[in-house]
Chains A and B, each alone.
Chain A
C-alpha cells in the first residue's frame, strides 16, 4: 500500500545546520550529515536540505554536504536554496540529491522549470512556493507568491502559479505558508487544499507544524501527499517515529518499517 511521507527539513548555511539538531546525542549537532543519519535511523521518509548560504564563495559547501549524506544515507534527498541554473541542478543531482527544489528562479523565469524538467525528468524537479494570504476577511480566499522569505510580493496567484509550473514539468510542489511558518499554529489548510486539489502532482505541506495533529490535518484536510517539518523534530519535541505512529492511529497509511 502506498504511504504518506513525513519529511524533516534542515536549514544548512555554509555547510552547517542552522541552530543544530538537538534530539539525539550527536558528536556534532551542526553537521548536516550526522543529522541526516539520525533522521534516517528515526524512520524519516525523505530528507530536505534548504541551503541558505548567502555568500557566493561558500555555495560549494552544499555539494560536499550532499555527497557525504548520499554516502551514508540510503533514503531520498531533496535539496533547495539558491538553485538558479541547469548546472546547479546537475551538480546537486550528481552529488547525490534525488530531487532539486527551485524557488525564486522559477518565479523570475518560468521557462527554467521546463528546461530543468526536460533535461533531468519531471520526477526530480520540485517547485517551492512561498504563499501568503492576501484576500481580506469576507473576500474569497486568495494567496499570492512572495519571495525573499516573504518580503517581496510578486502579485502572482499561488494556485494559478502552481498549475502553471506543473504544466511546465514540476513533478512536485513544496508549498509553504508564510503566514504560518514559525508560528506552530498548524498548516494553512485552505491554502494546502486549494493547491493540492488544483494540481495532479504531489504537494508537500510546509509551514506551521506545532503538534502531531497538525500533520494529520495537512494530509486529511489539506489533501497533501507529504508533510514537512523542522523545529518540532530538531528540538526533540517529537520523534519522526512518534509522528508517524500518531498519523497511523488517525487512520493514515504510514510506513513503519522496523
Chain B
C-alpha cells in the first residue's frame, strides 16, 4: 500500500507530505507516503494525491512538463479507479478548463470550468483567504465524523478562482463567500478540495485520514 503525492514543481509538497504522514500514523493506516515525479510510481500507487499552488495555466504546464505523468494519472485514476485527491489547484485541474489569465485545458474529469470568484458583495476581499465552514451537499466517506455546517469545524482557503461544476451531483461541499464557493467535488473514486487539508488543523487531518481508508 502506498500513497503517491505527485511532484510537478508546484506548491507546498513538504507540508502536504507531512500532513499525510501524520494522518497515516495517527489513523494507524501506516501507508508509506511517497513524493514522486515518476509516472511509474503513480501507476503503482494505491492512492494518488495531486497538490497544486499557483495559477491554473502554470500548474498545467508543470504537469505536462513531467513526461508521461498525465497518462499515468489517467491510467491510475480513470482506468484503475484508484482513490484520488486533488488539492487546491490540484482540484481545479480536474475541471474541463481554467480561465485564469488564459484559457487552459484541464484534465476533464469533472465537468465544469474554473473562473474568478464573483461575490455578490463587491466589498468582499479576493483572494478568499482564511477559515470558512463547509456545507455538505451529499454524504461521502471523506466527510465521515467531521462536524460540518455553520457550527462545524473550519477549513483553510486561499484562492481567487472557483470550480463551477456543470453537474451539481459532482458537488460534495460548498462554502459561503458572498455566494456559494465550491469547497469539495467528488465523483467515482475521485475527490478534490479547494481548501488546504494540510493546513486545516483538525478538519484537515481527519479528512486526510478518511481519504487514507476510503475504498470507493
Contact = CB atoms under 8 A, between A and B. Distances in A.
Nearest to B89: A121
B14 A67 contact: yes
B199 A75 contact: yes
Contacts of B175: 2
A123 B53 contact: yes
Interface residues of B, number: 40
Nearest to A93: B12
Contacts of B154: 3, 255, 257
B62 to A, nearest CB: 12
B130 A257 contact: no
B199 A45 contact: no
Interface string B182-209: 0000000000000010111111110000
Contact of B199 (A76, A94, A202): A76
A70 B21 CA distance: 12
Interface in B167-192: 175-177
Contacts of B177: 2
A123 B129 contact: yes
Contacts of A71: 18
A151 B154 CA distance: 41
B98 to A, nearest CB: 13
A226 interface: yes
B99 interface: no
Contact of A2 (B131, B196, B203): B131
B103 interface: no
A40 B130 contact: no
Given A1-B150, A74-B22, A94-B14, A121 B125 contact: no
Interface string B120-140: 000001111111110000000
Contacts of A98: 12, 15, 158, 196, 199
A123 B199 contact: no
Contacts of B201: 40, 74-75, 257
A120 interface: yes
A5 interface: yes
A124 interface: yes
A120 B53 contact: yes
A236 interface: no
A74 B176 contact: no
A200 interface: yes
Nearest to A43: B201
B55 interface: yes
A122 interface: yes
Interface string A213-249: 0000000000001100000000000000000000000
B204 A74 contact: yes
A1 B124 CA distance: 13
Interface in B84-120: none
Contacts of A226: 130
B150 A121 contact: no
Contacts of B216: none
A122 B160 contact: yes
Given A74-B22, A98-B12, A124 B53 contact: yes
Given A76-B199, A202-B125, A5 B130 contact: yes
A45 B125 contact: no
Interface of B: 11-15, 18-19, 22, 53-55, 58, 125-133, 150, 153-154, 156, 158-160, 175-177, 196, 198-205
11 contacts: A1-B133, A2-B177, A74-B18, A76-B158, A93-B11, A98-B12, A123-B160, A202-B129, A255-B131, A257-B153, A258-B202
Given A96-B14, A124-B158, A257-B154, 16 more contacts: A2-B132, A2-B175, A3-B130, A4-B130, A70-B14, A71-B18, A74-B198, A74-B200, A119-B54, A121-B58, A124-B54, A171-B129, A200-B125, A225-B125, A225-B130, A257-B201
9 closest cross-chain pairs (CB), A and B: A121-B54, A255-B131, A202-B125, A3-B131, A123-B158, A96-B14, A255-B154, A70-B15, A2-B132
